[in-house]
Structure 1
Amino acid sequence: MRILAVDTSTNVASAAILEDQTIIGEYNCNRGKTHSQRLMPMVQHLMETTGLTVNDIDAFSASIGPGSFTGLRIGVTTIKAMAFAAEKPVISVHTLDALAYNLPFAENLICPMIDARNNQVFTAIYRFIGDKLERLTDYMGIPVTELADILRKMEGDTVFLGDACNMHRDYFVSELGNRVKIAPPGTALAKASSVAILAGKAYSEGKLESCYDMVPFYLRKSQAERERENQKVKSDD
């Protein structure tokens, strides 16, 4: 089993290949949202380095969100196109699930956070039960104040990770004190290897999709859509 996975949900562009239970190659670049320029060369270099072609891949996977609207479209469209060309299935992986899986066997609560602007984050809360990742809440797009209220009512320390972690570290420390733990840099950001591993689990369970069925998971409408709706309401008034 070989799975090619990408993650373009945040500033990080990432691509990885899983072969059976081993990540045989991964590239990560955290230099801004230039995914349209960097993703395909990254994937091509990864394939060349591992000596594989698209026909050697059994399934293609993408982190589908929530996250950057433009980034998600680039990653999902790329994977759908490759799967279509190779006539292979796709596997959708939620971004927050993949982020949480960066911390396998963690004993604390895990809280991945993706910046949603205006002091809001895309988030969910997780815990590992043995080697199984369990999501304890819905996927949420909420103010950090609301997230702090939710965590205050839950028992135990919380490990924070994701691109919004450093932005809001001081706030959560002020609200939750020494219950706040920060993931180290090597595990704090989105990685396609985690997407690939979760996709591998789905593959073994037969949870495959047609490339036509994969869509981004935005969680909420884009800023442009909200502005258009507001303008329509004003014009109707």
Structure 2
Amino acid sequence: MYILGVDTTTELLSIALSEDLQLIDAVELDCSQSHAELLFPQLDHLLKKWHLEMGDIGLLVVDIGPGMFTGTRVGVVAQKTMAIVLGIPLVGLTSLEILASQVEDKDRLICPVIDARRGEVYFSVFEERDGELIPVTQNMALPPQGLVDFLSSLKGKIILCGSGAVRYREFMQAGLSDISDRITIEDGAIFPSARIANQKGYRRYLQKQLDDPLGLLPLYVRQPVSW
């Protein structure tokens, strides 16, 4: 089954074409301009490159956020529309769970942190149970100091990843110096990837955990603004 995944939640536009769990091709572009200007031409190019049409796609996957408000909305609306018009199954995933899945060392608590701008970060905490990453907190938006205070209350070793962890690395290292032996910042997982989203989406599909395209909405966590 062909799977088409889209992630427009960050400044990195990520599109992936897979067959079951096997990646066929992917596009990752710096999206300093409008996501809408790049998304549809890149989708069209990717399908034509592999001699496919939208009717050949058996599953659509989309990152619903949190992330850039306008960009997130573009991706969600695009995938929802194709799911409704063409009757293609749809799976929505959060950017935080996608990022957490990109961390190889899953023996620790994983805290994906996304730069939310305006002096805040989005984050959540996951742990692996029976081979599955399970959220152990809700999705939150706090100033970096709020994240430091929250992490200081946790027990066990913690891996931080994502654009927020990179941007506020020095601040968090200083604020978490008392538990520095338990904190690792992962440099390899900065932006959520449609490649990983496709793998997670396919597993959700096999478990019959599909989303209703009419009801699927962007996950903002805080009030939307135009960025």
TM-score (norm: length of structure 2): 0.90
Which residue of 2 is the match for residue 218 of structure 1? 220
Partner residue of 1:140? 140
Tell me if the contact between 2:5 and 2:61 (Cα under 8 Å) persists in the aligned partners.
Answer: yes
Please list every run of 5 or more consecutive structure 1 residues that lacks an aligned counterpart in the other structure.
225-237
Shift of 1:165: 2.1
Shift of 1:33: 4.8
CA distance in 2 between counterparts of 1:157 and 1:169 reads 17
Q: 1:193 is aligned with what amino acid?
A: R
Q: Quote the Cα distance in structure 2 between the aligned partners of 1:221 and 1:12.
A: 22
Q: In the alignment, which residue of structure 2 is the partner of 1:229?
A: none
Instruction: Give unpaired runs (5+ residues) of structure 2.
Output: none
> Matched residues in 1 for 2:33 and 2:99: separation?
18
Alignment RMSD (CA, Å) = 1.8
How many pairs does the alignment contain?
Answer: 223
Give the residue type in structure 2 aligned to 1:29: L
Secondary structure, aligned partner of 2:72: helix
Q: Which has the higher helix share?
A: 1
Shift of 1:125: 0.8
CA contact (8 A) 1:18 1:200 kept: no
Q: Does the aligned pair in 2 maintain the 1:9–1:71 contact within 8 Å?
A: yes
Which residue number corresponds to residue 85 of structure 1? 85
2:142 alignment partner AA: I
Q: CA deviation at 1:69?
A: 0.9
TM-score by length of 1: 0.87
**Is the 8 Å Cα contact of residues 10 and 33 (structure 1) preserved in structure 2?**
no
Corresponding position of 2:191: 189
Tell me the equivalent position of 1:124.
Answer: 124
Matches within 5 A, 1:1-237: 1-177=1-177, 178=180, 179-185=182-188, 187-223=189-225
- CA offsets, 1:173-232, max 9 Å, x none? 0012333322234x32111112111111110011223322221111121247xxxxxxxx
1:105–1:52: structure 2 CA closer, same or farther, 3 Å change rule? farther
C-alpha contact (below 8 Å) 1:111/1:126 kept by paired residues: yes
Q: Secondary structure of 1:188's match?
A: coil
* Cα displacement (A) at 1:130: 5.0
- In the TM superposition, residue 20 of structure 1 has moved relative to its aligned partner by 1.4
Give the conservation status (yes or no) of the 8 Å contact 2:161–2:186.
yes
Partners in 2 of 1:145 and 1:129 — Cα distance? 29
CA 1:36/1:135 → structure 2, altered by over 3 Å: closer, same or farther? same
Counterpart-to-counterpart distance in 1, 2:77 and 2:193: 18
3-state DSSP class of the match of 1:149? helix
Percent identity at matched positions? 29
Q: Distance between the aligned counterparts of 2:195 and 2:66, measured in 1?
A: 18
Q: In the alignment, is the contact (CA less than 8 A) between 1:33 and 1:71 conserved in 2?
A: no
